[in-house]
Structure 1
Amino acid sequence: MNPTQQLSWIWLLAAALMVLGWLWQRSRRNAGIVDVLWATGLAGAALLLALTGTGAPAARLLVGVLATAWALRLALHLWARVRSEPEDGRYRALREHWQGSQLKFFGFFQFQALLVLLFSLPLLAVAAHPDPAAWQLGLAIAIWLVSVAGESLADAQLARFRADPGNRGRTCRSGLWRYSRHPNYFFEWLHWCAYAVAAIGAPLSWLGWLGPVVMYLFLRYVSGIPFTEQQALRSRGDDYREYQRTTPMLFPWFPKS
């Protein structure tokens, strides 16, 4: 299967998945399902590329195992939140801004299908690598392990903090959240660096760098940090403003006194 065919199938499957997600949110008024399906779509894309890629078996195995495992972990973590909590404040604000327009929500869900396609490109580059070096694979695996461990730890620390009713209206400042306002986003960004390393020397190696570059731009300026912090300011006010003043935004570092 050539790259055009691979990407066409990924887009078609992601678009169909997002139609089902749009119908689900329409009946339950919870658009958070879109995040679950984005991660699920990437897991499916990774498996498809691993099975149909033209690269070395080791390169395809890396995509099939690491990318799929990362995406499924994220999807299950997000699903646990979506099914047990009210709609995320970011999506409630979006619903109010759009006055509940289902046509706009449909377009939003289909845009996420295009993002699945976009973030499949680094995986495509790795799965087409004819001969990755041992050091590349080793370094990619090391980055992946650190990123998944860090993101899992950040998610667990935040979940534990939010589970305590006494913390309602307060900002988590424990563990990794002491050194970054968004450690989960940082490790999600770091995860994409693994594929940039694994794609070095591949015919489409430049696609490998799309992962960390585009993910940073989205997290920093589009759909990640801006929406999350706007909602945090609405719900936590001055406590979060103080957190902004003392704690690095994305890349972990020591907080200001």
Structure 2
Amino acid sequence: MDNSVWMLLVYCLIVCCGIMALVWLWAYKIRNAGVVDIFWSYNFPVIAVVLFFLAPGYHDRKVLICAMVIIAGVRLGTHLAKRVITHLHEEEGRYLQLRKEWAPNAERKFFFFFQFQAMSNVLLAIPFFISCMNTKNALSPLEYMGFILWFISVTGEAIADRQLAFFKKNAANKGKVCNTGLWSYSRHPNYFFEWLMWVSYSIFALASPYGYLALISPAIILYLLLKVTGIPATEEQAIRSKGEAYKRYQESTSVFVPWFKKQ
């Protein structure tokens, strides 16, 4: 690969790590590590802006892929910000659990956790780097296919997020499990469409040299969602807070793919 790729990687890593260091200071002050989720999402648009202005690729391709990243990242980050900022004084259960497990060195471990999030931003952005380095002055069918799948996935994720927010807004649903709309088919339709979005980025990047490397991103996202910080942590917290109601919900729904409903 061109040396300019490595320079762009370094620039983006410095910026993302710097942002997360500042976010950690804020989180330390307010004792709410949940703010990391907001800026993990916002870091992708930051990377897209850096690539748009500094990467040597074909202008129209950069416009399209960077617009996709910015729209998706700002939408998700703002959605999370609305959720987190409304209860800054109350840390989300997942992070409360980590705080307990990491005591008495929780704040130091959270600093490294935030930095790891910044590094994951750059690693997952591989499809963006690959696409923005491509100087071929025409878009390919793969790139149009990637855009169409991106549109479907971002729309699906937005619908799932809106349905959950609407459910939680109703005071009568306090303590209940959201099982309406897409949530009646899948326990995590938002995660499913988030993963599908990363598949769309990798499809887009396949039209460029070294595009096969972009497949790393959806593979990592899928592993994280299914095995690490996504579904396992979310469901453990749901069981702690909702108990048997959530266990019954688990028995009637798909864990991930929202295309069928258990009878």
**Shorter-chain TM-score above 0.5:** yes
TM-aligned CA deviation for residue 117 of structure 1: 1.2
The AA in structure 2 aligned to 1:4 is W
The yes-or-no answer on 1:153 pairing with 2:159 is yes
Distance 1:190 1:233 in 2: 26
Residues 178-201 of structure 1: CA deviation (Å, up to 9, x unaligned): 111100001100111222111123
Superposition CA RMSD, Å: 1.4
TM-aligned CA deviation for residue 58 of structure 1: 2.4
- 3-state SS in 2 of match to 1:249: coil
- 3-state SS in 2 of match to 1:107: helix
The yes-or-no answer on 1:228 pairing with 2:234 is yes
Kindly tell me the number of residue pairs found equivalent between the two proteins: 257
The AA in structure 2 aligned to 1:241 is K
Identical aligned pairs, as a percentage? Answer: 37
TM-aligned CA deviation for residue 148 of structure 1: 1.0
Residues 27-76 of structure 1: CA deviation (Å, up to 9, x unaligned): 11111110111111111001111222222222211222111111111111
Aligned to 2:80: 78
* Most deviating of 191-200 and 49-58: 49-58
Structure 2 counterparts to residues 197-208 of structure 1, below 5 A: 197-208=203-214
The AA in structure 1 aligned to 2:13 is W
Gap runs ≥5 in structure 2: none
Distance 2:38 2:164 in 1: 18
Distance 1:133 1:152 in 2: 27
* Most deviating of 66-75 and 48-57: 48-57
Residues 62-98 of structure 1: CA deviation (Å, up to 9, x unaligned): 2221111111111111111111022211011111111
The AA in structure 2 aligned to 1:247 is T
Aligned to 1:142: 148
The yes-or-no answer on 1:104 pairing with 2:106 is no
The yes-or-no answer on 1:163 pairing with 2:165 is no
Gap runs ≥5 in structure 1: none
Contact 2:143–2:207 (Cα < 8 Å) also in 1: no
Distance 1:182 1:67 in 2: 22
Distance 2:168 2:202 in 1: 34
The AA in structure 1 aligned to 2:155 is A
Residues 100-143 of structure 1: CA deviation (Å, up to 9, x unaligned): 52111111111111111111111111112233644223212211
Aligned to 1:246: 252
- 3-state SS in 2 of match to 1:2: helix
- 3-state SS in 2 of match to 1:209: helix
Distance 1:95 1:144 in 2: 35
Contact 2:36–2:114 (Cα < 8 Å) also in 1: yes
- 3-state SS in 2 of match to 1:234: helix
Q: 1:66 to 1:201 in 2, by over 3 A?
A: closer
Distance 1:47 1:55 in 2: 13
Normalised TM-score (structure 2): 0.94
The yes-or-no answer on 1:94 pairing with 2:98 is yes
- 3-state SS in 2 of match to 1:181: coil
Aligned to 2:122: 117
The yes-or-no answer on 1:174 pairing with 2:180 is yes
Distance 2:147 2:249 in 1: 33
The AA in structure 2 aligned to 1:98 is W
Q: Structure 1 segments of 4 or more deviating over 4 A?
A: none
